[in-house]
Chain A
């Protein structure tokens, strides 16, 4: 009955008691371009790792060409033609381009010796096949991101691949580079190689794929030919429903315009962003979007004191500040919620309490010893205020859901009396219900506590819903400053697409 090249049947995977995948089924036919859609944290990367043999499923089976593959190892997966291009490319920075390219061929052939001439020949062929220019003797660590991706794609094509899995391949690319990538993908498909495109960007999926599978919370929720889907439908499947709430409105108070909470004048980070000027008044939520590498994160890091070499002026409530360390930024009233909650935001095995108080401990211990009753009071207050669902604040934060975890990070900053809140991807990997609640919290903070919020996000609907202004950034410069009143998701997305 199976006409697929590879098929997952009822796959189940559990990590430390947490179900990552359940009853997950997926069929990929030979030579098709298939999209696996899902929000961050929906289980996409677990699917990839199961298909490539990195993880062994706890239940269900994997079939390749109709035969079951119990206990498939990475080598077996590769031998059967499954290739993965990871988001981090999985290259060896300390080795040359040529060796990176030829490595899998050598491993696949179970060679014992390293033939450098053959390595170069293989690499040369790989690069030619892709139709690109690459210095084969360059160390991979010295290449720019786009170059590294080319190496990764060329490498995947090397071995006789029958399926290439691409994990969020367009994240770091400009529109022009995306078009080049799509040309290459169709070119690959013409050689009867299937492509599994793993993404959360709807337009790209609709543009490139033939079939789409949508997963949510580790389960498949929809599957079918691309023609059956449109953006709204995919969103609904990915998020589990439409959530529409009132767009955020900000009206300047009567009288003379208030002093901006945060103002930057001619901010420049050499090589990253140039001559940025922006003012955010109390109560404003300003959205910031742009491609990865547009300089948006560099701007955030500079504001958080992590780029001491910046040029230009930063003013908080009209007073110029010099932010050379994170401590100076925090003292100036700036709070930053980083992009990757799990690796940059949280101390996973530590308690909710310690995670919340992390930035406040020095303030809690003016005479060396921590004031425990005050610490307890602050924690309990925040658990209540942020509606964090937990019986005790002593629970390790790793046992919380994504939404509750993000509230812990927010709580940490609220305890520091922040005046400027910078959020980088505030609801990445957060389930729909929590997402709405976090948005409500952010709005409340701006509206009632007078914070200035800078919200950086890829999620255009999120920005349109929650910001009163949206700034678009490209190649280190602000390109547009759109008032939210006359902006729709369409206009922002279309504008972003023109960036090359």
Chain B
């Protein structure tokens, strides 16, 4: 019974239903290469969603992470090209740290000036994007210039299958990185005091202060981790698509927030889980990617995502109000 009442179970049920529906409309959905490519599409949004989940649990909101991701990605690759460095670990570390530093600015303004997180992250987002395009550059870095090590790394497959016609396809190993980060986030949220402090802050900020939580630490941690995950995901993304585009990720914040809310996180803070978020991400990516197989024009994508946000938030609001009553 308890299992049935958990929101993850409900989401999983809806997800399964949606899969059956899409599979019925077009059986191609169930083909292994489609499923593999779906999982691949989960990676970047999923990693970013982990950060957004943390922010939403604490009762905040973050719309700056796509800007941080693109800045960390583009600056790192520019740096690699300038230095002639071709590697994987150091650049990923650099991108992560850059994201972390950007996140710290969010944390500083949210904590120090008690300003509404939306307005803070809206400004840092504009600043970072403006700086990147206005000062660093606007030109794309294509496959012919991209550092090969990154591309090779992102090309690693866990399994690969050869089709009858000779072409091969595989499941990217990046999925493992996503799963690893998700597991880490789950452990942080569940088994560390800083993770619990995020829940406490989102549940009742006044009670959290009285209990003696160091809210400065908590807020900085939350926004830094969200930034760091975005930076990491940004660079990984460029490796996976063999392209570094300084105008990338525009509007991605909505997809990610939609996925997290879809995954059962409360829009009022205090509730949310990694497993739910992963299900939410899968659902969103699946619906978006399946528009084509369902013969829906791709121009409808934005409308569909917008409707999903509205439906998911309405459900979340309804659920939380019923719980409060």
A interface residues, Cβ below 8 angstroms from B: 52, 54, 73-75, 78, 84, 86, 90-95, 99, 103-104, 106-108, 111-116, 141
Tell which of A74, A75, A107 touches B193, judged by Cβ atoms closer than 8 Å: A107
18 contacts between A and B (CB under 8 A): A90-B206, A93-B270, A95-B203, A103-B196, A103-B200, A104-B211, A106-B193, A107-B212, A112-B192, A112-B193, A112-B194, A113-B193, A114-B190, A114-B192, A114-B193, A115-B191, A116-B191, A141-B324
Q: CB distance B211 to A94 under 8 Å?
A: no
Q: CB distance A93 to B209 under 8 Å?
A: no
Tell which of A54, A92, A104, A113 touches B199, judged by Cβ atoms closer than 8 Å: A92
CB neighbours (8 Å) of A106 from chain B are 193
Given known contacts A90-B206, A90-B207, A92-B199, A104 and B192 CB-to-CB distance under 8 angstroms: no
Within 8 A of A (CB), among B305-325: 323-324
Q: CB distance A90 to B210 under 8 Å?
A: yes
Given known contacts A75-B212, A78-B212, A141-B324, A111 and B207 CB-to-CB distance under 8 angstroms: no
CB neighbours (8 Å) of A74 from chain B are 209-212
CB neighbours (8 Å) of A90 from chain B are 204, 206-207, 210-211
Task: Type the 1/0 row for B187-223, where 1 means its CB is closer than 8 Å to any CB of A.
Answer: 0001111111001101110111111111000000000
Q: CB distance B210 to A54 under 8 Å?
A: yes
CB neighbours (8 Å) of A75 from chain B are 212, 214
Known: A54-B210, A73-B212. 17 other contacts (CB 8 A): A90-B207, A90-B211, A94-B202, A94-B203, A94-B270, A95-B199, A99-B196, A104-B211, A104-B212, A106-B193, A107-B211, A112-B194, A114-B190, A114-B191, A114-B192, A116-B191, A141-B324
Given known contacts A74-B212, A75-B212, A141-B323, A114 and B207 CB-to-CB distance under 8 angstroms: no
Q: Min CB distance, B226 to chain A, in Å?
A: 20
Q: CB distance A113 to B191 under 8 Å?
A: yes
Given known contacts A52-B210, A54-B210, A92 and B204 CB-to-CB distance under 8 angstroms: yes
Q: CB distance B212 to A93 under 8 Å?
A: no
- Is B129 an interface position by the 8 A CB rule? no
Q: CB distance A94 to B193 under 8 Å?
A: no
Distance of A73 Cα from B271 Cα, bound (Å): 28
Q: CB distance B203 to A92 under 8 Å?
A: yes
CB neighbours (8 Å) of A104 from chain B are 211-212
Tell which of A52, A73, A93, A116 touches B203, judged by Cβ atoms closer than 8 Å: A93
Task: Type the 1/0 row for B212-247, where 1 means its CB is closer than 8 Å to any CB of A.
Answer: 111000000000000000000000000000000000
- Cβ-closest chain B residue relative to A93: B203
- Cβ-closest chain B residue relative to A78: B212
CB neighbours (8 Å) of B202 from chain A are 94
CB neighbours (8 Å) of B324 from chain A are 141
Distance of A216 Cα from B192 Cα, bound (Å): 45
CB neighbours (8 Å) of A141 from chain B are 323-324
CB neighbours (8 Å) of A115 from chain B are 191
CB neighbours (8 Å) of A99 from chain B are 196
Most B-side CB within 10 Å, residue of A94, A114, A116: A94
Q: Min CB distance, B244 to chain A, in Å?
A: 37
Distance of A446 Cα from B137 Cα, bound (Å): 77
Distance of A84 Cα from B209 Cα, bound (Å): 13
Q: Min CB distance, A485 to chain B, in Å?
A: 43
- Cβ-closest chain B residue relative to A86: B210
Q: CB distance A92 to B212 under 8 Å?
A: no
Q: Min CB distance, B240 to chain A, in Å?
A: 34
Distance of A292 Cα from B306 Cα, bound (Å): 45
Tell which of A54, A94, A108 touches B271, judged by Cβ atoms closer than 8 Å: A94
Distance of A112 Cα from B194 Cα, bound (Å): 7
Distance of A73 Cα from B216 Cα, bound (Å): 14
Distance of A93 Cα from B206 Cα, bound (Å): 12
Tell which of A91, A107, A112 touches B207, judged by Cβ atoms closer than 8 Å: A91
Q: Min CB distance, A114 to chain B, in Å?
A: 5
Q: Min CB distance, B2 to chain A, in Å?
A: 9
Q: CB distance A114 to B196 under 8 Å?
A: yes
Distance of A73 Cα from B212 Cα, bound (Å): 8
What are the 10 A-B residue pairs with the smallest beta carbon separation, nearest first?
A: A94-B270, A94-B203, A92-B203, A75-B212, A90-B207, A74-B212, A114-B191, A107-B212, A90-B210, A78-B212
Within 8 A of A (CB), among B155-174: none
- Cβ-closest chain B residue relative to A54: B210
Most A-side CB within 10 Å, residue of B194, B203, B204, B212: B212
